[in-house]
Amino acid sequence: MKDSLNIKAALQGSKPRNFPMVSRVVFGSGSFDQLDEILEPLRGDAEGIVVFLMDDVFEDTHLHGRIPSMEQDLLILISAKEEPKTEQVDALAAHITRNASDLPVAVVGIGGGTLLDLAKAVAIMVNNTGSSAEYQGWDLVNTPAVYHIGVPTLSGTGAEVSRTTVLMGPERKLGINSDYTPFDQVILDPDLTIGVPRDQWFFTGMDCYIHCVESLNGSYINAFSQSYGEMALALCKEVFLEDLSPEESREKLMMASWHGGMSIAYSQVGIAHALSYGLAYVMGTPHGLGNCLVFQHLEAFYPEGVRLFRQMLRKHHIELPLKITRSCSQSDFETMIEVSYGMEPLWENALGPDWKSIISRDQLLEIFQKI
């Protein structure tokens, strides 16, 4: 859950944040096929343009054929191999504006966290001027986004429910956090996660699991987020430690991701995220994998969480890559440590205001060298 950092501002304010929720949600096997009737009233005179952004792994699949697109629509296939970037969002928004005679009536994102984040950002940018980089931050968006619909095909990121869209910008990786960011409609069809490669399924699921362990063990949480986090954590344990049917497993992981995303409202991540940001900054490690790589070494801080995590790894025969920092230079490690150590609210959430006396830069180095 990449956006957790972003609530620093809210958490440090003196009053609880007024949190926007997804306005409509449909859950269930086959619910993807309701997309057509969801779009119908938005299209108005049947000439409204819908933009579909879909992960290109679905090119020429059955799902591709089920997209209810009309002649005037734009269907854009996008690779999720790289993280979403502000320039990519700007290019997409420009492409849409160029190719559509009118403002689209809806933007639909179909895919994992990357596609969902892109859809949220593009829905904002087709109706706002300038570059998306100008809106990275908190509540900088002036004009409402176009109606946007999220269709997750991968469970764990929480992007389907959050009020941010995290983008790599020219200067920084930061979310567009705004009341216009959350989806207007989400379709939770667990069948769409059939066929996700095992490693991706596991690492994305761990995004949710590790997030929950960190936030539930932190001091910044309240009863609202705790209840969502506990539900998500319980579902992750069922999915990754018990022997559910494939159908039940898909359904429960989709709900874990949903609730895990909701738990972000009033919570904060901790040590795993602080370290994985440092790692990703230097190595470009994908978020889910990076969290796993650091989390395995955090037994001292999250004993129960790490113990169960190791059980999950064994049960699903997941082998984490070894020694990925082997060829890092002294200066690489210094950068990792610098970035990680700079994540003050995460450390404070995990270890309290005296966190600097509890964990040293040397301890961070030790962990990074083990990875």
Q: What count of other Cβ atoms lies within 10 Å of the Cβ of residue 128?
A: 20
What's the token pair of residue 40? 């119908």
- How far apart are the C-alpha atoms of 113 and 121, rounded to whole Å? 12
Provide the residue type at 23 as one letter. Answer: S
**Residue 122 vs 255, nearer CB to a second copy:** 255
Contact 257, 201 (CB under 8 A): no
**Residue 92 vs 188, nearer CB to a second copy:** 188
**Residue 228 vs 333, nearer CB to a second copy:** 228
Instruction: Tell me the closest approach of the beta carbon of residue 212 to a second copy, in angstroms.
Output: 13
Instruction: Tell me the closest approach of the beta carbon of residue 209 to a second copy, in angstroms.
Output: 15
**Residue 138 vs 347, nearer CB to a second copy:** 138
- How far apart are the C-alpha atoms of 225 and 14, rounded to whole Å? 17
Tell me which residue of 8, 24, 304 sits closest to 184, measured CA to CA: 24
CB neighbours of 106 closer than 8 A, spacing ≥ 6? 39, 42, 48, 50, 51, 146, 147, 148, 149
Torsion-angle region of 141 (φ positive above 0: left; ψ -120 to 50: alpha; else: beta): beta
Instruction: Tell me the closest approach of the beta carbon of residue 189 to a second copy, in angstroms.
Output: 9
Characterize the bridge pairing of strands 166-168 and 173-177: antiparallel
**Residue 177 vs 285, nearer CB to a second copy:** 177
Which residues of the shown chain bind a second copy in the complex (CB under 8 A)? 15-28, 30-31, 33-34, 38, 185, 188, 190, 222-224, 227-228, 230-231, 234-235, 248, 251-252, 254-255, 259, 265-266
Instruction: Tell me the closest approach of the beta carbon of residue 33 to a second copy, in angstroms.
Output: 8
Q: What count of other Cβ atoms lies within 10 Å of the Cβ of residue 94?
A: 12
Instruction: Tell me the closest approach of the beta carbon of residue 166 to a second copy, in angstroms.
Output: 22
What's the token pair of residue 351? 């270890």
Tell me which residue of 116, 111, 118, 254 sits closest to 189, measured CA to CA: 254
**Residue 141 vs 337, nearer CB to a second copy:** 141
What's the token pair of residue 261? 């995303």
3-state secondary structure of 177: strand
Instruction: Tell me the closest approach of the beta carbon of residue 181 to a second copy, in angstroms.
Output: 13
**Residue 223 vs 322, nearer CB to a second copy:** 223
3-state secondary structure of 174: strand
**Residue 228 vs 302, nearer CB to a second copy:** 228
**Residue 77 vs 234, nearer CB to a second copy:** 234
Contact 292, 206 (CB under 8 A): yes
What's the token pair of residue 66? 């089920």
Contact 5, 273 (CB under 8 A): yes
What's the token pair of residue 135? 């809106």
Instruction: Tell me the closest approach of the beta carbon of residue 268 to a second copy, in angstroms.
Output: 15
Instruction: Tell me the closest approach of the beta carbon of residue 273 to a second copy, in angstroms.
Output: 23
Please, what is the Cα angle at 186 between 77 and 285, to 5 degrees? 55
**Residue 11 vs 324, nearer CB to a second copy:** 11
Instruction: Tell me the closest approach of the beta carbon of residue 230 to a second copy, in angstroms.
Output: 7
Residue 135 has what DSSP assignment?
G
Instruction: Tell me the closest approach of the beta carbon of residue 10 to a second copy, in angstroms.
Output: 11
Burial 46-72 (b: 16+ CB within 10 A, else e): eebbbbbbbbebbeeeebbeebbbeee
